Structure 1
Amino acid sequence: MDSKRNDLRWVLLALVASAALFYFGTGLAPIPLLTWLAPLPVLLVAPRVSGGAAAAAAFTACLLGSTNLWGWSAHSGDLPLWPWGLAASFTFALAFLLVVVVFRGLVRRGRPLLAVLAAPAPWVALMQLVALVSPVGIVGTLATAQADLPVVLQIASVTGSLGIDYLVLAVPAAIAAAVSGHVRVLAVAAVAVVLVLGGGALRLTGEPGPAQRVALIAHNHASWATSVDTPEGRDLVTAYVEEIASLPPGVRTVVLPEAAFGSAEARPAALVEPLRRVAQQQGVDVVTGFAHRTPEVKYNYALTFPASGGEPVEYLKQHDVVSPLGDEEVFPPVTGARLGIAICADVNFRSPTDQYATAGAELLAVPASDERDNGWQHSRTALFRAVENGVPIAWSGRASTQLLTDGWGRVIADAPVEGPTPFTTVVAETPTGPGATPYSHFGDWFPWTCVALAVIAIALPKRGESRHRTARVADAE
């Protein structure tokens, strides 16, 4: 009885510790170091307590940790708490439960190295499956907290961003295995981490390509898809035109937010003519979000006004829950770096960024729109796509975040969209990146490998325990 009470105390302590670390190590303002520590308390006690207790502690700790999003999600249009916010929380909690169950089973079967290698696999596998079936993709995984640590991010150029999640889980698993008496596993893991981070540091020494000046402009007080069919909308167009005209010399590309303007007309002269004129006069390529609304359908476009003049080139968003979906990448006839176009939630998916990379894009312009609270988090999803595919990204967020990142995921410029002034404008020299990476060419090979490893790892302990039960019965007879 005393032993069970003692186990219960350790389980509860581990649960509370991991929950607190998940709470502060994930979410909208994560602390990177705590993300690595969050799984550790539950992993430490898992081999020493019953399977049910370990599983319950893992699920509850991660679920409680994910409540850091519930306050925002309760009033969010991007991720409403019911049902999507709760679904996300339960998915993360289930994934961590599987991590702990696999780790515990393999350690108790005397396979500590396999436990460390296999434990993160169920998490990666489940995230991969969610990304495939979710209409909005997936954001906010463990990798997000590491988004401002470029040396850690470089593994994504080979594995995709879920390789970062794998690493963040494998390290505490190795520590927990060592504490359980398998010290050599920690040495092996340490060598692997040094190799991964050393490779990342080496990749960061790559020579950037020619730089060009890029500007991001977002109105601090404009609403979604302000109609240019109204005086208010036409005034907003004039204000943007004046802001573009006042940019410093040498700017080659200007990116405005998603749905910066809207209209019942497909190509309203009140928008097209002023932007076409300022683009040609200033010698800049202007990319803006535009929502075309008919009584039946809402189209979510990005329009590019080339510096050379001519009609705007349209791109239709490829991932949207309201607009009809586009299915083509677009390379407007620009005068600077070869420019690809995407819109906001497009970065929640592997494509189209990988398609742009393999087709030779040198810069990706992404008009975006988020809520203020989740703007940083979503902009870092765009940053992952930059690392994965070696393409710089110009992310212009309405009411959220302005971000310029190079093709290695290093932040060049970053600013929240806020303040009493009319605009938040960011201007910076943006070099072309290394270009298409192994991930661009081979895709999600790593997550699918984790799917296979997770299936094997979940099955192995059960078969091993079954054989041992049979052996004990035979000995008794």
Structure 2
Amino acid sequence: MGYVHEQVGAVAATVSSGVLFYFGTGLTPVAALTWLAPLPVLLLATRAHARTALPAAFLAYLGGTANIWAWSLRSHDLPLLPWGLVVSVCLSATFVLAVALFRRLVLLGHAWLGALAASAVWTGVLYLVTLLNPKGLTDTFATAQADVPVVVQTVSITGSWGLEFLVLLVPAAAAAVLAPTVRRVARIRTGAFILGVTALVLIGGVIRLTSEPIAPQRMAVVSANMHGWAADVGTPAGKALVDSYVHRIAALPSGVRTIVLPEGTFGATEPSPPVLVDRFRALARDRQAVLVVGYAQWAKNAKYNYALVFPADGSAPLRYLKHHDAVSPPGHDLVVHDDTGVEICLDVNFAEPSRDYATAGATRLAVPASDEGDDGWLHSRTALLRGAENGLPVVWGGRQTRQMISDGWGRVVADVPSGVDPSGFTTLVAEVGSGPGPTWYTRLGDWFAWLCLVVSAAGMAVAVRVRR
């Protein structure tokens, strides 16, 4: 490729991949575009010099991450300066590493290994990030596919890592097949390999989706259009909010078994303020329903982020302390009541405690949540993937973000934006049955992520050995 043609090709690839990443990932992704986004840069990588291809890969991915910058400017969870940009740059550098290894191996004639190693490097690095990052991981290729149930079934075996791997593997294999230096036999083998993998995923997904939920139960999510955090139940406004929730829940249709309120709905300095606890114990008994309520306790030296679980018999509430929180001291214990496991918001960014709940015998997850408006879809789908990984329905109670109920196969049963209803409350009611229960992923854990690290090391070893 001549210099001018190479530069023109680099600009075209950068813009094409950047636009596809922009619309194929982020807060409202178009799932089909995610599979196409890496392709232009990967095609360039086997036709241009590294000094051209690798900067193009970096700029394309970095440009794609601009789809969250406007939200990040307003975010407390991921402020754009500096952490939003740090995340964007680090993800872009990871994509460059994947493209560089792909380029090297394909040019050496290892077409199928190049596609595998590139996908493995990307997936393996993201896995290591979850081990080191206190906020876990979301907004990845896998999350963008959360509303495509047929491919989501992969996560029941591999966890979300398998879906992450697959979304990059398909365009990487296509680029390897089309690389000018690859021999015909290698093209055929690589093409047959990726077609076989894709067919296996799709057929397996279709077969798994023929299963039907059993013993359907009516679930509900109720959230007020409140913008503040944890209304103090010791104030007139807090007491009024308690009254409003009690009236709203009392008016729900009959037969609702589980009702989830958002994270941090109420707060107080007391561990069990009577104005809240007594009212909700009586409400749970009258409704014969389990109530899961977000509650913040302000102690002298710490804030504790709880979910209070009010049993349907009116007995004293159980307490779940959020496992992953940058402010609250972390909890460690599971709370399972009436076969329902309880988590809070950020917990779904990690494999545990969802896997632990499936192992402990929970048949559904109730998750009080409180996001930041625009990221409601994204975070609710992260929760959906956790449920699909472990065969559990999810009741996601988002405040000012999203309410969602999904089944144990990762299919959305009901979904609505919260915080915008003119009545002052958003209410979601739906029936969802028990899922398939503990999956291969529940039993084996992150085996696929570790396999990706092994494949990454093997690919790098081949690239370095041949260079020497």
1:453 to 420, 443, 455: 455
Work out which of the residue numbers 299, 324, 337 in structure 1 matches 2:329.
324
CA displacement, residues 152-205 of structure 1 (integer Å, 9 cap, x when unaligned): 101011111121111110111111112125531122211210111111111111
Amino acid at match of 2:249: I
Residues 60-117 of structure 1: CA deviation (Å, up to 9, x unaligned):
1101110111111011012111222112111210121111111111111111111122
Does 1:363 pair with 2:364? Answer: yes
Specify the alignment match of 2:266 in structure 1: 261
Mapped pair 1:421 → 2:426:
no
1:5 equivalent in alignment to 2:10: no
2:111, 2:187 within 8 Å by CA — same for their partners in 1? no
What's 1:278 paired with? 283
Partner of 2:121: 122
- Asked whether the 8 Å contact 1:225–1:291 carries over to 2, the reply is yes
Tell me how far 1:222 sits from its aligned partner: 4.8
1:35 match? 34
Partner SS state of residue 74, structure 2? coil
The equivalences for 1:215-364 within 5 A come to: 215-332=220-337, 334=338, 338-364=339-365
Instruction: State the 1:389 CA deviation.
Output: 0.3
Q: Which residue of 1 aligns with 2:169?
A: 170
Q: What secondary structure is seen at the aligned counterpart in 2 of 1:322?
A: coil
Shift of 1:9: 1.3
Tell me whether 1:84 sits opposite 2:88 in the alignment. no
Residues 363 and 434 of structure 2 are in contact (CA less than 8 Å); yes or no, is this contact kept in structure 1? yes
TM-superposed CA distance for 1:395, in Å, is 0.5
Distance 2:454 2:39 in 1: 24
Tell me if the contact between 1:216 and 1:427 (Cα under 8 Å) persists in the aligned partners: yes
SS of the equivalent of 1:427 reads: strand
Aligned position for 1:473: none
Residue of structure 1 equivalent to 2:395:
394
Q: Distance in 2 between matches of 1:306 and 1:40?
A: 52
Task: Output the CA distance in 2 between the equivalents of 1:458 and 1:61.
Answer: 23
For 2:39 and 2:120, the matched residues in 1 are separated by 16
Provide the C-alpha distance between the structure 2 equivalents of 1:9 and 1:199, rounded to a whole number of angstroms. 42
Of stretches 185-194 and 428-437 in structure 1, the one that deviates more from structure 2 is 185-194
Q: Which residue of 1 aligns with 2:433?
A: 431
For residue 343 of structure 1, what is the amino acid of its counterpart? I
- Name stretches of at least 5 consecutive residues in structure 1 with no aligned partner: 467-477
CA distance in 2, matches of 1:262, 1:244: 19
8 Å CA contact 1:209, 1:434 repeated in 2: no
Q: Distance in 1 between matches of 2:47 and 2:286?
A: 71
**SS of alignment partner, residue 48 of structure 1:** coil
Extract unaligned runs of 5+ from structure 2. none
Q: Distance in 1 between matches of 2:439 and 2:40?
A: 36
**Residue aligning to 1:462:** 464
> 1:395 and 1:112 mapped to 2: Cα distance?
43
- Which position in structure 1 is the counterpart of 2:411? 410
CA offsets 1:107-144 (integer angstroms, 9 cap, x no match): 11111111122110111011001111001101000111
Letter in 1 for 2:91: F
- Which residue is equivalent to 1:442? 444
Residue 183 in structure 1 maps to residue 184 in structure 2: no
How much does 1:392 deviate?
0.6
Q: CA deviation at 1:11?
A: 1.3
Matched to 1:424, the amino acid is: T
**2:373 matched residue in structure 1:** 372
Q: Which moved more, 1:250-259 or 1:186-195?
A: 186-195
Write the distance in 2 (CA, Å) between the matches of 1:457 and 1:54. Answer: 19
* Superposition CA RMSD, Å: 1.1
The structural deviation recorded for 1:348 is 0.5
- Structure 1 window deviating more from structure 2 (200-209 vs 349-358): it is 200-209
Residue equivalent to 1:475: none
Residue 13 (structure 2) aligns with: 14
State whether residues 390 and 407 of structure 1, in contact with CA within 8 Å, keep that contact through their aligned partners in structure 2: yes
For 1:194-209, what aligned pairs fall within 5 Å after superposition?
194-209=199-214
Query: Which residue identity does 1:355 align to in structure 2?
Result: D
Q: Is the 8 A contact 2:213 2:432 kept in 1?
A: no
C-alpha distance in structure 1 between counterparts of 2:117 and 2:198, whole Å: 16
Contact 1:258–1:289 (Cα < 8 Å) also in 2: yes
Residues 313-366 of structure 1 deviation map (CA, whole Å, 9 limit, x = unaligned): 11100000000111011113x3xxx11111000100000000000111011110
Match of 1:157 in 2: 156
**Matched residues in 2 for 1:188 and 1:459: separation?**
22
Aligned to 1:147: 146
**Matches of 1:309 and 1:277, distance apart in 2:** 6
Distance (Å, rounded) in 1 between the aligned partners of 2:306 and 2:83 = 26
Q: CA deviation at 1:465?
A: 2.1
Deviation at 1:423, TM superposition (A): 0.8
Letter in 2 for 1:366: V
* Equivalent residue number for residue 107 of structure 2: 108
State the partner residue of 2:63.
64
8 Å contact kept, 1:369–1:400: yes
What code does the residue aligned with 2:455 have? L
Query: In the aligned structure 2, how far is the partner of 1:253 from the partner of 1:3?
Result: 65
Contact kept, 8 Å, 1:96 with 1:123, in 2: the verdict is yes
Deviations 1:378-424 (A, max 9, x none): 00000000110001110000111001000000000100002211111
The equivalent of 1:470 in structure 2 is none
Separation (CA, whole Å) in 1 of partners of 2:464 and 2:11: 26
What percentage of aligned pairs have identical amino acids?
A: 49
8 Å Cα contact 1:259-1:290 kept in structure 2? yes
Output the CA distance in 2 between the equivalents of 1:415 and 1:294.
35
Paired letter, 1:270: V
* Structure 1 residues 16-60: Cα deviation after superposition (integer angstroms, max 9, x where no partner): 111111111111011111111100001001011112222111111
**Residue 210 in 1 paired to residue 211 in 2?**
no
Could you tell me the TM-score, scaled by structure 2's length? Answer: 0.97
Indicate the residue corresponding to 1:52 in structure 2.
51
CA contact (8 A) 2:364 2:392 kept: yes
